[in-house]
Structure formats: structure tokens, C-alpha cells
Amino acid sequence: MANHRVGETGLTDSGPSSNHHHHHNIPYAVLHGMNVPPSFMHQEGSAFDFGELEEAIVLQGVKIRNDEAKPPLFTAGRPAATLEMFPSWPMRFQQTPRGSSKSGEESTDSGSGVNTISSKTENQVEPESPISKKTSSLDQQQQVEMASDISRTGTSQNQSAAAKTPQEKRRGSTSEKQLDAKTLRRLAQNREAARKSRLRKKAYVQQLESSRIKLTQLEQDLQRARSQGFFLGGCAGTVGNISSGAAIFDMEYSRWLEDDQRHMSELRTGLNAHLSDSDLRIIVDSYISHYDEIFRLKVAAAKADVFHLITGMWTTPAERCFLWMGGFRPSDLIKMLISQLDPLTEQQVMGIYSLQHSSQQAEEALTQGLEQLQQSLTDTIAGGPVIDGMQQMAVALGKLANLEGFVRQADNLRQQTLHQLSRILTVRQAARCFLMIGEYYGRLRALSSLWASRPRESMMSEDHSCQTTTELQMVQPSQNHFSNF
Amino acid sequence: MHYQGDYYWGYYMPTRSIGSDPMERVVKLASEKAVVIFSLSSCCMCHAVKRLFCGMGVNPTVYELDQDPRGKDLETALMRLLGNSQPVPVVFIGGKLIGAMDRVMASHINGTLVPLLKEAGALWL
């Protein structure tokens, strides 16, 4: 708006003025380093505005004057006061004594005089005040006055308003009717200007907030995509962070997660509908084959990029905390389930504890095997004279290839554990058990999302809208995470 | 664990008299002890299998094929036996082939390994 108007009026004068073109939403007072009370800066559509304050003050003054039955006059003294307010803005306008030129027109606005904004353009002034971007119908000289009024602090405004009233008292030649109309019109224009200013500020703040939300969402998406290996344009192999095998697995895994949701809701409805055991068995078996599928996918992924699995970059951060050899630790899973699987028969209890025991032994064996691999690798590449570096590296590469075997065995262990669970438990118990497993990992994934979007205390003082936006984010996570709750 | 070296073999089995068929050797060796593991000293998965049995309190008999002069033949035979690219580790219990690491772990998880060990006399508790 500012630039447009400047173009119209052709004003390109002083340096300080031209700088103001772009600050159309920063209050003049702040721009010029005036001491603005914080309450004036943080109003977003609040009821308080300068127009109303001034109106109240002036009306009070009017009331006093009316009581005195000697209506003072707004005269050309006002423009002088206005000019003093903006010493850095050379005003190129014709100085006409306001009283004489306007009295004729204003006599038509009798006592009501609230909102008649006449389209006078007797002055070619472009005030360039940030607040004074009024509609072209407003009187420009009055724009200047309004700008000065609105951007003043409350105290100085009080002072100037108070200063006006003695001035008004001194020149007591205009009729009471004129004064009222003029004052009222000016008040109305002030209100209008203040309202417009509020609206502009509100719009700007809303724009800022929505941009902020968008930015944080974009960052989240980018982070998620990086950790899951999605890249635009399918340039997965070339972008260095992630191999094509890993990218393919990440895509398959995310599809698997969607399937997981579907299976879980099937389990849930199946349990709630009290299906027969044979019907429920079908659902449970399909859930087991659903898990068999991910283990199959992981075999191929281990072959393609074992480090992607081992480092857990295919999972979420919270899941990564509990990672063991590229996946969940079976004995941990059983520990989690044991308390929730009641009631169990004695035989079942023994079966579960024996399962936990044997999986612990198997995990320990695999861990020790991996430790030996690490030791062997260290021995190969560490120290010693680097007589044949390439040979050394070749041997090390061969040893590193064994990682794939360990991840495969770990996945095998996971698969066997799930199968054994379904053998020990009854159909209903197995359905509940798998539902519990699915929900547990769903919550772990949700935890990761919440963690990523949690509000940070250090940002609170800088930007008090931060809290709002992060709260918004926290209620927005994907269906995957919260459908179980 | 009992490690079978050349001397031991030489004492018990003059290598020429038993058929040079590696598969026969494998079967023969497997049936002599309760728990037999064919291994390579450099193989980490073999180390894991050994730790698994030791962790259960079992005392397996281990043949390190890289320390056997005809180990290569045995490896080939084992690969044929399992249909696997990895010759080792291979586990026999009570003369019966259990398989490679995945089968061993599967049988441990599904609870069939311990009864087999008890049956072969490798485990008493």
C-alpha cells in the first residue's frame, strides 16, 4: 500500500521518509525508537484502541466545554502542533487554515457527525506514516493528525489532548454545533483508522503464525523423510545419506505400518464382536503372516544395506532406544506382555517363562557372537604395520559381511518368538496379545513424534506465539499414531 | 568342549581305512558324541552357537574344520547336506542333524531343543 501511494503522489524525498515505505505495519513509535509501553504493542484485536481513548478524552473535554457553555474552536493551531510531531517528514502541502475552509462543509454535518468521511483532497501530503495508510477518501490533513494521534503513547496523547482543550477554550468563536460535528467526525476518523490498523496488525500476525506452523511442519516432514529415506525425484542412490536398498525398505516398511493399522483394527473389532474361535484364528493367523512378511522384507534389506537396519534408521528415535541387532529384543517384548496376559493357566505361565528364558539365552549367544565379530574386525584394521593396507581392508570387508548373518538370525529369533507365543496362548489371548504388541509400538512411534515437536523452553521468551503453534502440532499427528487411543 | 585335533583322529581313526568319502566322515563323527558342532575358528556365528550351548550347560564336541587337513572336503559335504552357502556352523545332537544356526535357535525357542539334549544325555537338569 505504501509504495503504491508513493508512486501516485510522486514523493521520493528525504531519506528517512523513504525508509518508511516498507514498514507499513510497524508502529511509527517503535520505528523511531520511542518508548512504547508494551501494552500498546501486543494488542491483537483487543477492545482498547487509541481512537477510543482519544474519543473518551476529547468527549470529556467537550463535556467540560459544554458545561462551561463556551465552545472552543479547533483551529489552525492544530496543524502547527501536528507539524512539530514529525520534524523529519517535510510536508509538502498547502497550509490552509482549517477552521475557515472546513466550517462551511462541516456545518452540514450536524450533531450526529459520526462517520461522514468526506473525500477532500485539499492537501497533497503523503504523510508516509506507517499507521496512516488510510483510504483515499480520508482527508489527508486529518490523516496526518490521526497518524500523530494514533502513534503517540498514551501519556503524550493525554497531554496533547489536554493541551488541545485549553487551546480550544482560547479560541471560542466557532459555533458549538460546528465544533461538535468536527470533533465527532475527527473522532470517528480516528476510530476508523485505529480499527483499520488493528485489522492490519491482526492479519499480519495471523500470516506470521501460519507461516510458522507451515515451516515447522515442513521441517518435521523433511526430518521424517530423511530418517525414512524418501527423496523427491527418486534420487535415493545419489544423495549420499541413504542407499537405494534402504530407501526401498523404508517404503515397504511404511506400507507395512499401514497394513499393521488395518490388522489391528480387525483384531479389535474381532475381539469386541466376540467372534468364534475359528473366525478369530483366521484373523490372528493373518496377523502372524503380516509379521512374517516384514521379516522377509528385512532379509532382503539386510542383504542390500545391513547398516541401515543395524543403526535403526528405518525406525523412529524412541524405538531406536530399545534397538537390538536391527529390531526389537524378544525377551523385552515378553517382559512387557507378561503382566498383561492374565489370566493364564499354569502350563501357559510355564510356557511363557520358558520362552522368555530361551530367548534370553539365544539373545546372549548372538550378542557374544557379534562381540567376537567386532573384536576380530578391530584386530584386523587396528595398529600394526600397514604393510599391505589393501589386504587388510579386504579381510575387514569380509568380516563386515558377517553382520548380515547376525541381523538375519536376530530377525529369525523375533519371528520364532512370535510364533511360539501364538502356540502357547489361546486364540483370544493371542488376539489380545498381538493387539497389545501393535499398540505398544504404535505408542512408541507416537512418542517419537511428540518428542520431535515438543515446545522448547528457551524459545518462550523470544517468541510467545511458539507455545501455540507447537500445541497445534501436537494435536495434529497422523492417524497412525493416535487411532489406538 | 572337546576339540578334535589330528592326533586324536590319528589315534582313533586311521584316516585311510575309513572311506575317503567326506559325507561318511561327517556322519561318523556326528554319531560319536551327544552334541557335535562343525565349526571354523574364524567364524563368529560358530562362536555364537558354541556360547549358546555352553550357556545352557551343555558340553559340545567341536570340530574346527580349518584345523583339519581334509577340512575342505568336510565343508563341501556339509554345504551339500544343508543346501546352504555356509558350511558352518552345523549341529548334530544324538547323531541327528539339527541344522545351522537358524534351525538351532528355532528349536530352542519352540522348546524342542532341550528335550533333545536330555534325550542325548547332554543335559541332566
A42-56: pLDDT as tens digits? 444 444 555 566 666
Look at residue B47 and tell me whether its pLDDT is greater than 90. yes
Q: Report the complex ipTM.
A: 0.87
Rounded average pLDDT over A330-341: 92
Mean per-residue pLDDT of chain B: 87
For chain B positions 59-118, those within 8 Å of chain A (CB to CB) are: 86, 101-102, 105-106, 108-111, 113-114
CATH number at B7 reads 3.40.30.10
Are B89 and B75 contacting, i.e. CB atoms less than 8 angstroms apart?
no
DSSP A50-111: HHHHHHHHHHHHHHHHHHHT------THHHHHHHHH-TTS---S----HHHHHHHHHTTS-T
pLDDT at A466: 47
Report how far apart the first and last C-alpha atoms of chain B are (Å, whole number): 18
pLDDT, tens digit (0-9, with 9 covering 90-100), for A251-284: 999 999 999 999 999 999 999 998 899 999 999 9
pLDDT at A14: 44
Distances (CA, A) of A64 to A67, A109, A172, A221: 5, 22, 14, 64
pLDDT at A47: 47
Confidence of residue A353 (pLDDT cuts 50, 70, 90): very high
Rounded average pLDDT over A459-465: 49
Are A182 and A106 contacting, i.e. CB atoms less than 8 angstroms apart?
yes
CA distance A292 to A288: 6
Spatial CA neighbour of A151 closest among A178, A177, A166, A132: A132
pLDDT at A113: 42
Look at residue A358 and tell me whether its pLDDT is greater than 90. yes
Rounded average pLDDT over A314-335: 95
Tell me how far apart the 2 most distant CA atoms of chain B are, in Å. 42
Look at residue A69 and tell me whether its pLDDT is greater than 80. no
Instruction: Identify the domain containing residue B104 by its residue range.
Output: 2-120
CA distance A234 to A221: 16
Q: Select the residue from B43, B45, B50 to test the A interface by mutation, using most A Cβ atoms within 10 A.
A: B45
The Cα angle at residue A373 between residues A293 and A403, in degrees rounded to 5: 25
How close, in Å, is residue A252 to chain B by CA atoms?
24
CA distance A299 to A293: 10
Q: Structural domain tally of chain B?
A: 1
Look at residue A133 and tell me whether its pLDDT is greater than 80. no
Chain B residues with CB-CB distance to A375 below 8 A: none
Q: Select the residue from A355, A395, A399, A412 to test the B interface by mutation, using most B Cβ atoms within 10 A.
A: A412
Antiparallel, parallel or unpaired: β B35-39 and B61-64: parallel
Q: Any CB–CB contact under 8 A between A413 and chain B?
A: yes
Antiparallel, parallel or unpaired: β B90-93 and B2-3: unpaired
With residue A474 as reference, give the H or E element that holds it: helix A466-474
Report how far apart the first and last C-alpha atoms of chain A are (Å, whole number): 50
pLDDT at A64: 62
SS3 A344: coil
pLDDT at A390: 81
Q: Any CB–CB contact under 8 A between A372 and chain B?
A: yes
Rounded average pLDDT over A163-185: 63
Single-letter residue type at A473: Q
**Most confident stretch, A76-80, A172-176, A424-428:** A424-428
Confidence of residue A224 (pLDDT cuts 50, 70, 90): confident
Residue A14, phi then psi, degrees to nearest 5: -60, 155
How close, in Å, is residue A412 to chain B by CA atoms?
7
Q: Cβ contact (<8 Å) for A409 and B105?
A: yes
Rounded average pLDDT over A70-80: 46
Spatial CA neighbour of A460 closest among A468, A448, A450, A451: A468
Look at residue B4 and tell me whether its pLDDT is greater than 80. no
Give the chain B residue nearest A358 (alpha carbons): B109
- B64 forms bridges with which residues in the sheet? B39
pLDDT, tens digit (0-9, with 9 covering 90-100), for A138-160: 444 454 444 444 444 444 444 44
Look at residue A230 and tell me whether its pLDDT is greater than 70. no
Chain A residues with CB-CB distance to B111 below 8 A: 351, 354-355, 358, 420
Task: Please tell me the number of Cα atoms within 13 Å of B41 on its side-chain side.
Answer: 9
Distances (CA, A) of B94 to A77, B97, B120: 116, 8, 5
SS3 B113: helix
Look at residue A124 and tell me whether its pLDDT is greater than 80. no
- What distance lies between CA A105 and its chain's CA centroid? 52
Of the listed ranges A123-127, A435-439, A440-444, A462-466, the least confidently predicted one is: A123-127
Of the listed ranges A304-313, A467-476, B28-37, B100-109, the least confidently predicted one is: A467-476
The set of cell numbers assigned to B3 is 576339540
- B91 forms bridges with which residues in the sheet? B37, B99
Residue B125 counted as domain residue? no
Rounded average pLDDT over B57-69: 94
Rounded average pLDDT over A435-457: 91
Confidence of residue A407 (pLDDT cuts 50, 70, 90): very high
Tell me how far apart the 2 most distant CA atoms of chain A are, in Å. 111
Of the listed ranges A262-271, A355-364, A378-387, the least confidently predicted one is: A378-387
pLDDT at A415: 97
Are A363 and B48 contacting, i.e. CB atoms less than 8 angstroms apart?
no
Look at residue A107 and tell me whether its pLDDT is greater than 60. no
Residue B21 counted as domain residue? yes
pLDDT, tens digit (0-9, with 9 covering 90-100), for A195-220: 999 999 999 999 899 889 988 888 88
